[in-house]
Amino acid sequence: MDATPRVIDGLQRLKGIFLEMPGTKLSMADATRLSGLERPMCRIVLQALEDSHFLRRRHDGIFMRLGPDAVDR
């Protein structure tokens, strides 16, 4: 499989998880497992989602969705 479709699939998978389940919080390990991406690529995708203000990374490294449905507990 070409890297680009795999990255796009991983990105869509992660965005889908956060959109379908409000309040979802994922560690890097969880995001890597659920996306099917290797850890370095998953880190890049998560960083892009954070840079675009779709996700926020807490001080403990947990990623969560920004917006009205996001709850930081």
For residues 25 and 63, the answer to whether their CB atoms sit within 8 Å is yes
For residues 43 and 49, the answer to whether their CB atoms sit within 8 Å is no
Give pLDDT tens digits for 60-70.
Answer: 999 999 765 55
φ/ψ of residue 13, rounded to 5: -65, -45
Give pLDDT tens digits for 13-60.
Answer: 899 999 998 899 999 999 999 888 899 999 999 998 999 999 999 999
In order of start, what are the domains of the chain with their CATH numbers?
Answer: 3-65 (1.10.10.10)
- Name the pTM for this structure: 0.81
User: When comparing pLDDT for 7 and 33, which is higher?
Assistant: 33
